[in-house]
Amino acid sequence: MATEREIISYLAIILLGLILAQHLNVVVSGSMEPVFYRGDVVIIEKTNFMGFSEMDAEDLKIGDIIIYDATWFAEPVIHRIVGIKQGSDGKKYYITKGDNNSNADPALVSGAQVKAKVITIGNHPLVIPKIGYITLLIRGL
């Protein structure tokens, strides 16, 4: 029979796994190549994680790589901010583009659409290569 200490250790491992899993995102397309590729996993900080704000969409700047809910694509999009516009409503809107795409995305991105920012060290995003392929296969993507 497991001791109280073992049970607490197992629960801590499960909790840590759940928290870490919430900070990983699988890349579903090649639009950001060669920065990262389809099937790679990027490490992110979220705008809202269990009620806590890890990053504020208002603090984003040109060059940041974000994950947002697009109006034109079914899956969340991971693209780089290439421009910022001030809307007539006084809010910031982001112009985004995949590094491997020739044109910017078809619609501006509001702060409310931004779900996360890819964590970088210097100008290099934190990427775990190829381990997301299993998720893509399971989801049929």
Q: Of these residues, 9, 23, 29, 31, which one is catalytic? A: 31
Question: What CA–CA distance (Å, rounded) separates 116 from 67?
Answer: 5
88 is catalytic: no
How is residue 54 written in tokens?
Answer: 């890890």
Q: Of these residues, 64, 79, 89, 99, which one is catalytic? A: 79
* Four-point Cα dihedral 113, 116, 120, 125, nearest 10: -80
Q: Of these residues, 40, 105, 110, 124, which one is catalytic? A: 105
40 is catalytic: no
How is residue 12 written in tokens?
Answer: 């801590």
Residues designated catalytic: 31, 79, 105
